[in-house]
Amino acid sequence: MNRRHLLACMGALPWAGTAPAQSTRSASLVIVGGAEDRLQDRLILRRFADYCGGAQARIRLITAASSEPERVAQSYQRVFEALGVADFAALPLHTREDAADPAVLREMAQADGLFMSGGDQARLMEVLWETPAYAALHQAFHAGGCCIGGTSAGAAVMSRHMIAQGPAVLRPSKAVTSTDIGLGLLSAAVVDQHFSERRRLARLLSTLALRPDLLGVGIDEDTALVVERGRAVEVLGQGSVTLVDTTEMQSNVDEVDTEEQIEMLGVVLHTLPAGRRYTVDDVPRRWPAQLDRALRRLIEPGPLRG
């Protein structure tokens, strides 16, 4: 049973269209650290298109994070055309009113892939938060097997606890980052992007000091973390994904003032370079138990919302 049949059966989205041709798509997250190649090999966006079902896929772009949505839309239009994806369009989704427009919701429900551009993650969440489009995106991912991609701001919103902004500090300290609520497609993680290029480890550690229950996920530019739900994690592109696990950390964050530095003891770090794939149920596993635990937190999707 494919996604649209399922939705039609559920009655959740009664406008859901006809079934698409058999596709290879699988409900995955393609979380890009920004500045992905759109001119040369386009490896990451090519793989995103593949996850959505290839040339037959219906891919829709969400540019609500961007201050230049038309320019961004034209850029991605050229990319997906070059990749042979005929059915690509940017959604007219720029305001909270748009986020309740039945035509937009119908497009979201029928998409094989939704890709969120860069820009400002707070602006993107202002447009989407608790709107029908927010619910439609969750439905598409959770119930429909729609592939969700996002770059930069579109990556930041993947987690529930989202870094809204904050400077690339030298050392972990309190009150460095302001956080907000993201889409929550990742259940137990917090994503930071442009990670190595903008030297954001201390910013991510600052966030985790206050939320050590979350898994820190730092994604480099032109690099994607692909999360195949319930199954595997893969790194694509040019850089690395850094996982920061504070599960067993001891810190003095509750004792220090806002301006003081934080002591963080027992933080576990994994650097996963592009080209590596981690299938969780592989036996025998060739990695430490700590990585196994981190991967299982990544592949477990957040709850359906909206």
For the annotated catalytic residues, the residue numbers are 152, 194, 221
CB of 183 to a second copy, least distance (A): 28
Q: Site for a second copy (CB under 8 A): which residue of 32, 117, 240, 301? A: 240
Residue 265 sits in the site that holds a second copy (CB under 8 A): yes
Residue 44 sits in the site that holds a second copy (CB under 8 A): no
Q: Site for a second copy (CB under 8 A): which residue of 41, 258, 286, 303? A: 286
CB of 216 to a second copy, least distance (A): 11
Residue 268 sits in the site that holds a second copy (CB under 8 A): yes
Compare residues 231 and 270 and give the one whose CB is closer to a second copy. 270
Residue 248 sits in the site that holds a second copy (CB under 8 A): yes
Report the alpha-carbon angle 63-112-114, nearest 5.
15
Tell me the two tokens of residue 204: 């991510």
Long-range interactions of 54-58: CB distance < 8 A, separation 24+: 54/23, 54/24, 54/84, 54/85, 55/83, 55/84, 55/85, 55/86, 56/20, 56/21, 56/23, 56/87, 57/23, 57/25, 57/85, 57/87, 57/112, 57/113, 58/20, 58/87, 58/110, 58/111, 58/112, 58/113
Residue 291 sits in the site that holds a second copy (CB under 8 A): yes
Can you name the residues that pair with 238 across neighbouring β-strands? none
Binding site for a second copy (CB under 8 A): 170-172, 196-197, 199, 201-202, 205, 220, 239-240, 248, 250, 260-274, 276, 286-288, 290-291
